[in-house]
Amino acid sequence: MIEIFPIAGIPDVVKGDNLGKLIVSKLAATGKEIRKGDIIVIAQKIVSKAEGRIVTLSRVKPSKFASEISRLSEKDPRQVEVILRESAKIVRMKDGHLITETKHGFVCANSGVDMSNVGKGSDNATLLPADPDKSAATIRSEITKLTGVDAPVIITDTFGRAWRLGHVNFAIGISGMKAIRDYRGTRDMYRHVLRVTEMAVADELASAAELVMNKADRVPVAIVRGYPYRRALGTAKELVRPEEIDLFR
């Protein structure tokens, strides 16, 4: 049986905070502990805050190109400038939407630049972690040191999807588990050989954990217990579809 439960009571995170230590202490305060087989799912926002990945828009000078895009997209030109700085390329721009490929290779809205849950009355924006896999590995290492349990860590962010309405949480950083479960070459229940099935289990876990990580309830961390993951070094890069096999780029 799979169980998912939130870690409540985590305060506003600031630059320099030790997230591994914070997670362990808050979990202990609830009378629970990390067990062998647990998976720790963490919202990107607190990782970015702890790493100082915050930009104050009032200090940003937009370029002419950013100002032109802001006119077409009806966005703040300073925000557009930050989005462009975080992007490798613009993928689509239509009806006020700005879809980019980030320097990590993620294709998402606004390069992951976000002004929600940054601070009351703030003109700050958060950026994605510079290296989310490394961030996940750092947090995992600290939790292992504190608890003796080597639990995988998944860092998540909220993305839209090309074929469906609504948003879901995706894995943008992984440490300690395989991101994809590959069924190719195995047989289904009727003995047919599976040829293309690869399940993005890290994304599925990220999305499932979001069910208890409500954005307005100060719950940026959850524990998934009971899922039989496959141990590996792990990287979210496994989940990025190369452009040469992407039908939409």
CATH number for the domain including 176? 3.30.1330.100
The half-sphere exposure of 1 on its side-chain side, counting CA atoms within 13 A, is 2
Burial of 104 (0-12, 13-18, 19+ CB in 10 A): buried
Give per-residue pLDDT as tens, 50-89: 999 999 999 999 999 999 988 888 888 999 999 999 999 9
Same domain, 189 and 139: yes
Of the three residues 110, 125, 140, the one that is the final residue of a domain is: 125
- Provide the token pair at 210: 């979001």
88 conformational bin, left if phi > 0, alpha if psi -120 to 50, beta if neither: alpha
Same domain, 137 and 184: yes
How far, in Å, CA of 109 to CA of 113, rounded? Answer: 8
What are residue 70's phi and psi, to 5 degrees?
-65, -35
Same domain, 13 and 116: no
Same domain, 181 and 145: yes
In a domain, 140, yes or no: yes
Per the structure, how many domains does the chain have?
2
Cα 168 to chain centroid distance, Å, stands at 10
In a domain, 246, yes or no: no
pLDDT computed for residue 120 by the predictor: 61
Positions of the chain with pLDDT under 70: 117-122, 183, 193-194, 196, 215-216
Same domain, 143 and 192: yes
Same domain, 43 and 133: yes
Of the three residues 106, 125, 144, the one that is the final residue of a domain is: 125
pLDDT computed for residue 17 by the predictor: 96
Same domain, 16 and 77: no
Amino acid at 142: E
- Provide the token pair at 83: 């989005």
Same domain, 141 and 162: yes
pLDDT computed for residue 123 by the predictor: 86
pLDDT computed for residue 119 by the predictor: 66
How far, in Å, CA of 165 to CA of 50, rounded? Answer: 31
Which domain does 60 fall in, by range? 55-125
Same domain, 82 and 8: no
Tokens 């639990």 sit at which residue?
A: 151
In a domain, 248, yes or no: no
What are residue 238's phi and psi, to 5 degrees?
-60, -25
Same domain, 119 and 146: no
